[in-house]
Structure 1
Amino acid sequence: MARGARAPAVQQAFVLHQYDWSESSLILDLFTREQGRLAVVAKGAKRPYSQLRAVLLPFQRIQVTLSKPAKSTDGNPAEVVTLRAAEWAGGSTLPAGAALFSGYYLNELLLKLLARQDAHPLLFEAYAQTLPQLHANEDAQSQAALRAFELRLLVETGLLPDLSVVTLTQAPLQLERSYGLAAEAGIQPLSVEAGGLDGSTWIHLQAALLHGSMAALQQACAPVLPQLKSALRGLLHYHLGGKPLRTRQVMLDVQKLLD
């Protein structure tokens, strides 16, 4: 390495998606802890004897070495960098069954809601902690993990209002009154019959978000999974521009075939 040159960045990452780039190479969409989402060229990764083939798998924490970004024609750093090395950094085995669909659902949310090169270290750790909580039988623990991750993602991207106050008036929530989470109006009074949650539940969820622990957030989500799923689905659908997620559509199609 030349004197004064910067060493390649080594950082933790997950593969969110990959695209064919040539007969032997791939374009990777990585979720890194230090730099957020990155587009990375993995040269030669498709060759039969490439060591990268067994490493560049979804849902596996890896350690990557990236090249220094080249300059584009306008003088700014290029958006795509080159993968110089990658190795497994430990973690769970690949999920199976419903857990696999849930994992791809998380990846699709990250791909569509995160801007490139925008670091979210708390969200990175939340993602890493959520993956082992996803089970093949879609049990309550898996559902709580999904809801907790959706909440953390919405907070990190600035799309979730303060859950402890009425959004339009900023008035504190009344503990026993029912409130709903609307895509455009935020937290607002709502009847129980309309699917609302009491104020104490929303305040508990907000406290868990501020605490930062995914375990605490999952625990806060567990008692109200059906109502929370409906509220968060509406909010995510709104911020995704009303476009359905491919993962969710595939899950629905598979369920129809099984039924």
Structure 2
Amino acid sequence: MAARRIADEPAYVLHSYDWSESSLILETFTRHYGRVALVAKGAKKPTSNFRPVLLPLQPLRVTYTLGGEGHGEIHALKGAEWAGGHVMPTGDALLSGLYLNELLLRLLAREDTHAPLFDTYAGVVRVLATVDHEGEHGDALEPVLRSFELLLLREIGLLPGLDAETSTLASLHAAARYALVPEAGLRPALPTDRAALSGGQWLALQGALDEPARYTATLRAIATAEAPVAADLKTQLRALLQYHCGSPLLRTRQLMMDLQKL
């Protein structure tokens, strides 16, 4: 029986590691099949057509054949082409993109389809590619990351509703302060909380997430917020993401902290 073939599938390389002296195992994020593991035989050879293509944060079209039972296996990469559109992000944008890749690796199950999230990720990578390269969109870096974090958590069912207290379902008061915490969801802020937002700010974010163009609306909502609001949102989302990722600390976050100490 001939192996089933997936052709011309939109994809990004999230991570790669050695499989043999000449081959690589790729963790990819595909539009129609989610996170897929592929073996790229001979990809490390100097003459391989894969060498200049299989890079992170680059839009690809891949062709592969399914291995074993076809689900949860490592499949055989048969072809990969750069889909064009933008260059590799650099500097802080590159590190931010690798951070997003690590989140997807930690939080997405293999071969669990998330087409809307794939489209959001592709949009984020396009923005990252303009940061530092053309000197544009530098101010958009933090809002872009926060927007993706929110949409990722929502897509995989780890973000509680932001329009009510999680435990009681009580409506939020616009002027009151609320904190998003891993163990309890959204609750009234305590004096010991490191960060919190007003009820009105949480409601605005929920409204943005409910719009049809969720990524654009969420990005706009965060970009127009005051700097302290964005900083407090970052603190809470990072804590929630680390909680669900488990130990150890995300490698890209540790690298960011180490670089800040230099």
TM-score after normalising by structure 1: 0.90
Aligned partners of 1:9 and 1:68 also within 8 Å: no
Q: Does 1:243 align with 2:248?
A: yes
Give the letter for the 2:42 counterpart: G
Q: Which residue of 2 aligns with 1:213?
A: 214
- What is the letter of the counterpart of residue 245 of structure 1? L
What one-letter code is carried by the residue in structure 2 that aligns with 1:13?
Answer: A
Describe the shift of the 1:193–1:8 C-alpha distance in structure 2 as closer, same or farther (beyond 3 A): closer
Q: Is the 8 A contact 1:55 1:86 kept in 2?
A: yes
Contact 1:175 1:198 in 2 (8 A): yes
Any residues of structure 2 matched to 1:13-92 within 5 Å, and which? 13-71=11-69, 77=71, 79-92=73-86
Alpha carbons 1:103, 1:131 under 8 Å: kept = yes
Q: Which deviates more, 239-248 or 121-130? A: 239-248
Q: CA RMSD in A?
A: 2.1
**Runs of 4+ more than 6 Å apart:** none
Q: 3-state SS of the aligned residue for 2:76?
A: strand
Gaps of 5+ in 2: none
How many Å apart are 1:152 and its aligned residue?
Answer: 0.7
Counterpart CA distance in 1 for 2:74 and 2:14 is: 15
Q: For residues 25-65 of structure 1, what are the alpha-carbon distances to aligned partners after superposition, in whole Å with 9 as ceiling and x for unaligned? A: 11000000111111100111111111111111110010001
The alpha carbon displacement at 1:213 in A equals 2.9
- 1:59 match: secondary structure: coil
- From 233, 238, 249, the equivalent of 1:228 is 233
1:124-144 CA distances to partner (integer Å, 9 max, x unpaired)? 111111113233489431000
Which is worse superposed, 35-44 or 127-136? Answer: 127-136
Shift in alpha-carbon separation, 1:80–1:183, aligned structure 2, 3 A? same
8 Å Cα contact 2:5-2:64 kept in structure 1: no
Secondary structure, in 3 states, of the residue corresponding to 2:20?
A: coil
Q: Which runs of no fewer than 5 residues in structure 1 stay unpaired?
A: none
Q: Deviations over 1:41-90 (max 9, x none)?
A: 0111111111111111110010001113334xxxx746110001110112
> 2:259 pairs with 251, 254, 257, which one?
254
Deviations 1:136-180 (A, max 9, x none): 489431000000000011011111000011100111212222111
2:202 aligned partner, one-letter code? W
CA distance in 2, matches of 1:8, 1:29: 16
Q: Is the 8 A contact 1:45 1:53 kept in 2?
A: yes
Aligned 1:166-177 pairs, distance under 5 A: 166-177=165-176
